[in-house]
Amino acid sequence: MSGQAERSVPRHQPALPDEVLHFLEPSQGQTIVDATVGAGSHARLIAERLGPLGRLIGLDRDLSMLHLAQPRLVDLPVTLVQANFEQLPLVLEERGIHAVDGVLADLGVCSDQIDYAERGFSFQQDGPLDMRLDPTHGEPASALVKRLSERTLADLFWNYGEERYSRRIAGKIVETRRRTPLETTGQLAELVRSCVPRPRGQRHPIDPATRVFQALRIAVNDELGALESFLAALPRCLKPGGKAVIISFHSLEDRRVKQAFRDRAIWKVLTPKPVQAGDEELRNNPRARSAKLRAACLLETRRDQ
Ligand SMILES: C[S@@+](CC[C@H](N)C(=O)[O-])C[C@H]1O[C@@H](n2cnc3c(N)ncnc32)[C@H](O)[C@@H]1O
């Protein structure tokens, strides 16, 4: 087991826990999917409400997160599965489950993943430039940084990170990699910082590496492709009247969720505007500041029945 998994007390604090319970309304005997178990905090809150006849199916792409969550969920009716949530229909079919009462997805990564430098998500600590949620599949970020053309890198930083200095950063990467391979998070973070001008006489409000790291993480894990497939599959996985609750952390995700719930032949939207954390939650959990929750209920008379 990795060092990350050996850490027994997760650091991650769940975003919008009361709102998740309010919209998902888990109750005795239900079957609910937590598509992103992470450190298991939301999963525990939900599973505690399902009783002995209910079941929570918990997915995560990252096996070390399932190891971290598992001890917190031992006494509860929970089945943990390592899977990409885009495979939810298959996960349910393999377990003989036709449809479930609710699905939660809390997108992105956990503090426990970011804080573990070896995973390569952090621009604050030095580690290998990896960023894969499932380190046994796909290319690490270092391979993308080595292989992609200057133009493609610039487009990636612009499209997935809305990075104003995308061209300058891509140019610097290509120039640097001719001399030295970019293999660590520290190298890339320093390179990005050197390309972004500091506001006159001020400190940067956020680390200039933030947007480039976000963009690379999205690309490495095809996060938007997975989200789109998951959203398209959701109506097939829910019972009529079942609830979907999705928490996003940036506009690229939130836009897709909003768009998916817009189909009035399938969904009744429960959150006309995205729900955000209040002051009290933000005092204890600053990461929740960018969380946006949208919820919808599958219509009883949906078109594809
Ligand atoms: C923000 S954390 C979830 C935290 C969790 N709700 C809790 O209470 O601890 C997001 C989790 O989703 C997982 N994840 C991200 N994309 C995924 C995907 N496509 N399929 C399955 N899990 C995914 C990440 O590995 C991470 O553990």
The Cα–Cα gap between 135 and 121 comes to 12
User: Domain extents for the chain?
Assistant: 3-112+224-298, 122-221
Question: Looking at residue 302, what is its pLDDT?
Answer: 58
CATH of the domain spanning 122-221: 1.10.150.170
Q: Evaluate whether 156 touches 215 at the Cβ level (below 8 Å).
A: yes
Average pLDDT over residues 161-165: 95
Question: Looking at residue 301, what is its pLDDT?
Answer: 67
pLDDT digits (tens, 9 = 90+) for 175-207: 999 999 999 999 999 999 999 987 777 777 789
Ligand 1 residue neighbourhood (C-beta within 6 Å)? 12, 14, 36, 38-42, 59-62, 65, 84-85, 106, 108-110, 133, 226
* Three-state SS at 102: strand
Question: Looking at residue 303, what is its pLDDT?
Answer: 47
For residue 207, the number of C-alpha atoms closer than 13 Å in the C-beta half-sphere is 15
User: If residue 89 lies in a helix (H) or strand (E), which one and from where to where?
Assistant: helix 88-94
* Topology at the third CATH level for domain 3-112+224-298: Rossmann fold (3.40.50)
Residue-wise over 189-215: b if at least 16 C-beta within 10 A, else e?
A: bebbbebbeeeeeeeeeeebbebbbbb
Whole-number average pLDDT of the chain: 93
Residue 225 has pLDDT above 80, yes or no: yes
> Which residues, in sequence order, are bridge partners of residue 238?
100
Q: Which of 61, 22, 67, 17 is nearest to 43 (CA)?
A: 17
Domains 3-112+224-298 and 122-221 share a fold: no
Tell me the pTM: 0.94
Q: What is the CA radius of gyration of the chain?
A: 20
Question: Looking at residue 45, what is its pLDDT?
Answer: 97
Token reading at 175: 């120039």
- For ligand 1, the distance from its centroid to the CA atom of residue 108, given in whole angstroms, is 6
Confidence bin at 9 (pLDDT 50/70/90):
low
Residue 140 has pLDDT above 90, yes or no: yes
- Ligand 1, closest atom to CA 14? 8
- For ligand 1, the distance from its centroid to the CA atom of residue 235, given in whole angstroms, is 20
Query: pLDDT above 90 covers what percent of the chain?
Result: 87
Q: What's the one-letter identity of residue 150?
A: E
- Ligand 1, closest atom to CA 226? 19
Query: pLDDT above 70 covers what percent of the chain?
Result: 95
Query: To 5 degrees, how large is the angle CA 115–CA 117–CA 119?
Result: 100
Average pLDDT over residues 114-138: 93
Question: Looking at residue 1, what is its pLDDT?
Answer: 38
Average pLDDT over residues 12-39: 96
